Structure 1
Amino acid sequence: MDYTQSFAISAIGMNIERTRVDVAALNLANANTVQGVGGTSYQPLRVIAEARSPGSEGAAAFGALVSQGLDAADAVQGSPLVRVVPTNAPPRLVYEPGHPLANERGYVAYAAVDTATEMVSMMSATRAYEANVSAMNTARTLALRALDIGSNA
């Protein structure tokens, strides 16, 4: 039995979740930044993972993948496309009239980062990463047990 498929799936999942953790950490690090030199403020980022499949989209593509079967080459070819995109959220305005970067009405434009959302995203990505590690370890254990059974026979 070939276990490379399950290893590849877990590795792809770990890569996506690591990217989610990195982006959440970057957003949290810039949560209290104000506008930059050029007048632009930090834009929070989001990770988008999209399935890549040849042919049509939706249920028909899924059915085609199931009917053709999965092998190691298809796992890499059908792996999701991961993109990091800005959210284009408007800046969070805080009334601080004494701040050097306050506008004429006394508001300072901070990055539109919601720290609670970012913490939840980071915790969820960490749990999903751990689940992928557990799945990979289980597949490895199964492969080792199969080798033990084969060597004892």
Structure 2
Amino acid sequence: MDISKALDISSAGMEAQTSRLRVIAENLANQDTTGSAPGADPYRRKTVTFAEVLDPATGAQTVSVKRIGKDMTDFTMKYDPSHPAANAQGYVKMPNVNSFVELMDMREAERSYSANLNVMQVTRSMLTRTIDMLK
């Protein structure tokens, strides 16, 4: 395998995981963001979908973000009649963000990013050794 292909593949993986981490951070930041009017929808959790893409420059299969979608699961209801977004019964729609799920996704993204970084470091080391041998 061409060394530059390995670097391109790892780079694409790191970019995809960076996008995933941004979405996770946004979800965690908005886990308590409710609507501003009675009955208004709160923040809706975002999801990331990946796609396998052929890189025409290198001819290698890489990964990219296919789309950032919305999680359509139901909102939870919390009883808080003093909240400005409470409905007539005193319930407020809460975001469908589960911090435990987000933290697990974050750990998985971090490990994937780290694995791609390790590939880049090993590839760089191989390239450096090859250059040293040519001296």
Structure with greater strand share of residues: 2
- 1:63 match: none
Tell me the number of residue pairs that the alignment of Structure 1 and Structure 2 aligns. 133
Shift of 1:124: 1.4
- 1:143 match: 127
Q: Does 1:49 align with 2:50?
A: yes
- 1:74 match: 59
- 1:65 match: none
**Residue segments in structure 1 that go unaligned for 5+ positions in a row:** 54-69
CA distance, structure 2, for counterparts of residue 87 and residue 81 of structure 1: 20
Query: Residues 36 and 85 of structure 2 are in contact (CA less than 8 Å); yes or no, is this contact kept in structure 1?
Result: no
Shift of 1:10: 0.5
* TM-score (norm. length: structure 1): 0.78
Percent sequence identity over aligned pairs: 32
CA distance, structure 2, for counterparts of residue 36 and residue 99 of structure 1: 9
- 2:11 match: 11
Aligned in 2, Cα 1:127/1:28: closer, same or farther, shift over 3 Å?
Answer: same
Q: Does 1:110 align with 2:111?
A: no
Query: Residues 5 and 71 of structure 1 are in contact (CA less than 8 Å); yes or no, is this contact kept in structure 2?
Result: no
User: Any idea what the Cα deviations from partners look like across 1:76-118, whole Å, max 9, x if unmatched?
Assistant: xx43341111112221211112222111121100111000000
CA distance, structure 2, for counterparts of residue 71 and residue 139 of structure 1: 21
Higher-Rg structure is 1
Query: Residues 52 and 81 of structure 1 are in contact (CA less than 8 Å); yes or no, is this contact kept in structure 2?
Result: yes
Shift of 1:71: 8.6
CA distance, structure 1, for counterparts of residue 58 and residue 79 of structure 2: 56
Q: Does 1:24 align with 2:24?
A: yes
Structure with greater helix share of residues: 1
CA distance, structure 2, for counterparts of residue 149 and residue 138 of structure 1: 16
